[in-house]
Amino acid sequence: MGIEVRGLTKTFGSFVALRDVSLNVASGELYALLGPSGSGKTTLLRIIAGLETADSGSVILEGEDATERNPRERRVGFVFQHYALFRHMSVFENVAFGLRVRPRSRRPEDAEIKRRVKDLLELVQLDFMADRRPSELSGGQRQRVALARALAVEPKVLLLDEPFGALDARVRQELRRWLRRLHDDIHLTSVFVTHDQEEALELADRVAVMNHGVIEQDGTPDDVVERPATPFVISFLGTVNIFHGRVEDGRGIFGPLDVEYPVHGDSQPRTAAAYTRPHEFDVSRTETGSGLWAVLENVTASGAMVRLELAGAHGGLLHAELGRDQFERLGVKPGDRLYVTPRKVRVFVE
Amino acid sequence: MSNELRTARLTEPRMVRWAITVVALAFVALFLVLPLVAVFAEAFAKGLDAYRTAIIEPDAVAALELTLLAAGVAVPLNVLFGVAAGWAIGKFQFRGRHLLLTLIDLPFAVSPVIAGLVFVLLFGRRGWLGPWMIDHGLQVVFATPGIILATIFVSFPFVAREVIPIMEAVGTEEEEAARVLGAGGLQLFFRVTLPNIKWGLLYGVILANARAMGEFGAVSVVSGHIRGLTNTLPLHVEILYNEYNAQAAFAVASLLGCLAIVTLILKAIVETRVERSARAAAHAAIEVRPWESKSAV
């Protein structure tokens, strides 16, 4: 039954880190806690591990209530952001630690420990590093040792706190793919914390987006990207254009934009905002649909995409994104007037 | 050649460098080496036999034993306290943490004589607790317990002061990792915490021991100078000297001199180990992003 968290609340002095948080992680799932710093995601992970105690609420691991249980009895694997390897031990001893500290009755034989550590080091492709000290390893290698060490105790769940946070972009990419493959092989219920939306969306089966101690939305990466539940979720998951306006009589009116909004059929207007992602605009030189126009200010090309920065007629900046071919066909330069039509808007009433 | 020239231009003139070095060395020779040599010269002034007699004389042996006993009790207790204080201050944030940190330094700030007097005031015949304790057969002042107490007091900060910064620098992540991996309290301490602080701890022990064995002021106040009973080595040296028995005084003093030399050697060895492990820790911290520096090149 994976991990079940019910109504967790945690405060540090007057700061509320978690506010009545509940979530379910299915067995074998790779789950991401995504949010800005201070959103409570690390606190939530540490409470699941037992490294922090909640003020109220409960944690159920594989169907057993673990709320009152000591971290050493929870059988979780924990990978720290800065690895937390035992600096005075070799890589081998680091991985063997969890087996060596077991009470004698449950401790494997020396030969068995040796075999298991060797297997794990092979799994993380570091068997040739067994005798090195952590200080002799690169960041990516250390993180893999930390992972092997966490797996050595055969945990029921694996918890990773910003596992790639201290690594540079390239290593992070590699390690991310490698972790996904590893997870597909061993299918261990895993939760990882990240502030990097790309990482969460690429890696996880399901994502919980957190803000100010609450989960704003949880669902598949597709859910949170395509059907964001709150303005925070849509803003956090990448650049977005915001049009302020109102809804009334089943319509949303945001400056020149006029869209259908059947949810609010009332004639009483309410303030609302419409959100559109940069790639959801149609851009043309001739007046079309919405009548929204803007002056091209800046063009940045990155890879196959071209980003346009436009000064909108309504005063604000607009961000649009086009394919390179499309941009070249358009043949525009800074200073030109462009008509932009959102293919998709998401309206949130305030 | 050009390198040498550049060095010459960038540093002080040769004469100045030379003069400063000579002054420093002369100072060391005059104030540190010469006295030590004098101690040993005087100790052996009347030959080897006189030296041996002065050292194996019963009062001297008793003083040596008392010194070893006092240090033998004070140092382990300070290790216990120092590690506990280091753990509390280095790993946790709590109310009164700064107060505790300041209080640990108290024995450095207070004159040892005053420390001795405090114990007399507390446990002396007319002190606060003294009469009651003496009635119950517990003589503290002018007896061994008083000497041990005074020794503990003056050597109190050394271990804690060495251990606290290391505990702070190492942080708590390794302990948390060990806990999640299933280590119990003792396993956690002996397998994770202790190995990380061992060199700093040893360094503190050496300093605390040197102070415990060499302490004069505080011990002098509580000792009562009973020969063969409440005299430590430093006190014994003073008594001999006051009796115009300079040779014997220096012979006993040479024992303390040997202790100082051994301490210095151990200190030098441990210091390099502490530095090395500190560098390894710093190295580990910097090496967190080894790829970044590579791609920056």
Chain A residues lying within 8 Å of B181, measured CB to CB: 72, 97-98, 101, 149-150, 152-153
CB contact under 8 A, A170 and B295: yes
Chain B positions in Cβ-Cβ contact with residue A153 (cut-off 8 Å) = 181-182
Mutation target for B interface from A74, A85, A99, A135: give the one with most B CBs within 10 A. A135
Q: From CA A283, how far away is CA A299, in angstroms rounded?
A: 14
Rounded (5°) CA angle B208-B212-B215: 130
Residue reference for tokens 């003056």: B154
Q: Which residues of A touch B191 (CB under 8 A)?
A: 86, 97, 101
Q: Strand, helix or coil at A255?
A: coil
Helix (H) or strand (E) holding A103: none
3-state secondary structure chain B: CHHHHHHHHHCCCHHHHHHHHHHHHHHHHHHHHHHHHHHHHHHCCCHHHHHHHHHHCHHHHHHHHHHHHHHHHHHHHHHHHHHHHHHHHHHCCCCCHHHHHHHHCHHHHCCHHHHHHHHHHHHCCCCCCHHHHHHCCCCCCCCHHHHHHHHHHHHHHHHHHHHHHHHHHHCCHHHHHHHHCCCCHHHHHHHHHHHHHHHHHHHHHHHHHHHHHHCCHHHHHHHCCCCCCCCCHHHHHHHHHHCCCHHHHHHHHHHHHHHHHHHHHHHHHHHHHHHHHHHHHHHHHHCCCHHHHHHHC
Minimum CA–CA partner of A159 in chain B: B180
Whether chain B has a CB inside 8 Å of the CB on A135: the answer is yes
Chain B within 8 Å of A140 (Cβ-Cβ)?
A: yes
- Scanning every residue of chain B, which has its alpha carbon at the shortest distance from the alpha carbon of A154? B181
Residue A80: list chain B partners with CB under 8 A.
Answer: 173, 176-177
Alpha carbon distances (Å) from A307 to A234, A290, A298: 19, 21, 8
Shortest alpha-carbon distance between residue A242 and chain B (Å): 36
SS3 A163: coil
Which residues neighbour A124 within 8 Å (Cβ) at sequence distance 6 or greater?
A: A144, A145, A147, A148
Q: Tell me the nearest-neighbour CA distance from A1 into chain B, angstroms.
A: 21
Of A72, A82, A84, the CB nearest to B184: A72
Using CB atoms, which residue from A78, A135, A139 is nearest to B177? A78
Does any CB of chain B come closer than 8 Å to the CB of residue A170? yes
Report the sign of the C-alpha dihedral through residues A128, A131, A136, A141, in that order. positive
Cβ neighbours, 10 Å, residue B242: 10
- Compute the distance between CA of residue A137 and CA of residue A120 in angstroms, rounded to an integer: 17
Q: In chain A, which residues have their Cβ closer than 8 Å to the Cβ of B193?
A: none
φ/ψ (deg, to 5) at A266: -65, 150
Which positions ≥6 away from A90 have C-beta within 8 Å?
A: A130, A131, A132, A133
Q: A327 Cβ partners below 8 Å, 6+ apart?
A: A299, A306, A308
Q: Which pair of tokens denotes residue B198? A: 């061992």
**Candidate from B180, B290, B291 with C-beta closest to A78:** B180
H/E stretch holding A145: helix A139-152
| Statement: the pTM of the whole predicted model exceeds 0.95 | no
- Give the residue from A88, A90, A160, A172 with the most B CB atoms within 10 Å of its CB, the best one to mutate: A88
Residue A325, SS3 per DSSP: helix
Averaged over successive runs of 10 residues, the pLDDT of chain B (297 residues) comes to: 60 85 93 89 87 87 90 92 89 85 88 88 81 80 87 90 88 91 90 90 90 88 82 89 88 89 86 72 46 33
Name the nearest CA neighbour of A125 among A137, A107, A114.
A137
Tens-digit pLDDT profile for chain A (350 aa)?
Answer: 689 999 999 999 889 999 999 999 999 999 999 999 989 999 999 999 999 999 999 999 988 898 888 888 888 999 998 899 999 999 999 999 999 999 989 899 999 999 999 999 998 889 898 999 999 998 889 999 999 999 999 999 999 999 888 788 888 888 888 889 889 988 899 999 999 998 999 999 999 999 999 999 999 999 999 999 999 999 999 889 988 888 888 888 888 788 888 887 778 888 999 999 999 888 888 877 667 888 888 888 888 889 999 888 767 788 999 888 888 888 888 888 888 888 888 898 88
Are B196 and A88 a contacting pair at CB < 8 A? yes
Chain B residues within an 8 Å CB radius of A89: 195
Chain A CB contacts of B278 under 8 Å are none
Q: Which of B181, B196, B281 sits opposite A97 (nearest CB)?
A: B181
A167 touches chain B (CB under 8 A): yes
CB A101 to CB B295 under 8 A?
no
Cβ atoms of residues B235 and B220 within 8 Å: yes
Q: Does A187 touch chain B (CB under 8 A)?
A: no
A139 and B196 within 8 Å at the Cβ level: the answer is: no
Is the ipTM here above 0.90? Answer: no
Does the beta carbon of A76 lie under 8 angstroms from any beta carbon of chain B?
A: yes
